[in-house]
Amino acid sequence: MTHRIAIAQISMHWTTPENVASMRKAMDLAHSRGAQVCGFSELAVTGFHRMIGREATPEMVSPALHELQTHAAKLSMAIAAGAPTFGADGAIYNSHLLIDERGVTSAVVPKRGLTDPEATFFKRGESRPVGRMQGLRCSAVICREVEDVDVYSSELAPGSVDLIFLPAALRQDPEKPRTDPPQYVRDIQRLAAATQAHVVHTNWPNALNRPEESVDGGGSTVAGPDGELMFRLPSQASGVGVFTLGDRHFEWHPQ
């Protein structure tokens, strides 16, 4: 079966309603180009910025997710979208939700590889489940987790998944010499080869806390199961890339 995939490399906003409106617009565009699955970035629903404490509440997030699930079901489109999730003990997780084409959440992947600042707000996840979307076995490796080969290799055995989403705000390390491609692209290729899965990376094209970091935004990357770099989306640009899984070219639709 041929699968059409969309990467929603769309701009981050300060509020959940603004982000959800942009996500729905991206879903509509992706659907119009034949996409069956649309990937969004880390904490796409709320945005990942210094006002996360204001946005990351059940009262804000639950209706937003319901709106996206309903729209996914209407379009018969699966989506992979980052959002806070909440534990019974008051814990907040930085999670990636795999929502299938019926609008049903097939898996919730909580981020384990938190930075020290992130760990002051979010609780570390303890699992990396696999869910089905459009017949594909899918999971997620979130942002800097892509650097930890030992962890994801032990959780995602070669051939156990078809597609791994990598939602992120990855950029070149400013303390190290610039390389082309950046080290994180090589890490993405290594993730794909280690798991024998397609890896679809969705990078934020902009930064709100430090706008100057937007210079390294975008450039979302797709790697094949053998670790081949298939293509990268434009840098410093907001839009939707649509492609057929396994192809080395894509359509670019600015947004």
Q: What is the pLDDT of residues 129-141, one digit of tens each?
A: 999 999 999 999 9
Quickly count: other Cβ atoms within 10 Å of residue 223's Cβ: 27
Q: What is the DSSP letter of 6?
A: E
Give the pLDDT of residue 69.
Answer: 98
Q: What is the mean pLDDT of residues 81-93?
A: 96
Q: 156 with 128: CB under 8 angstroms?
A: yes
Give the pLDDT of residue 239.
Answer: 98
- Torsion angle of the four alpha carbons 99, 93, 144, 250, in this order, in degrees rounded to the nearest 10: 20
Check pLDDT > 90 for residue 152: no
Quickly count: other Cβ atoms within 10 Å of residue 187's Cβ: 23
Compute the distance between CA of residue 214 and CA of residue 196 in angstroms, rounded to an integer.
31
Check pLDDT > 90 for residue 173: no
Check pLDDT > 80 for residue 1: no
pLDDT > 70 fraction of the chain, expressed in percent and rounded: 100
Give the pLDDT of residue 207.
Answer: 93
Q: 36 with 77: CB under 8 angstroms?
A: yes
pTM: 0.96
What is the pLDDT of the chain when averaged over all its residues? 96
For residue range 178-233, what is the model confidence (pLDDT) as tens digits? 888 999 999 999 999 999 999 999 999 999 998 888 888 999 999 999 999 999 99
Check pLDDT > 80 for residue 5: yes
Q: Six-digit token pair at 15?
A: 């509020």
- For 192, the enclosing helix (H) or strand (E) is helix 183-195
Give the pLDDT of residue 10.
Answer: 98
Confidence of residue 54 (pLDDT cuts 50, 70, 90): very high
pLDDT > 90 fraction of the chain, expressed in percent and rounded: 89
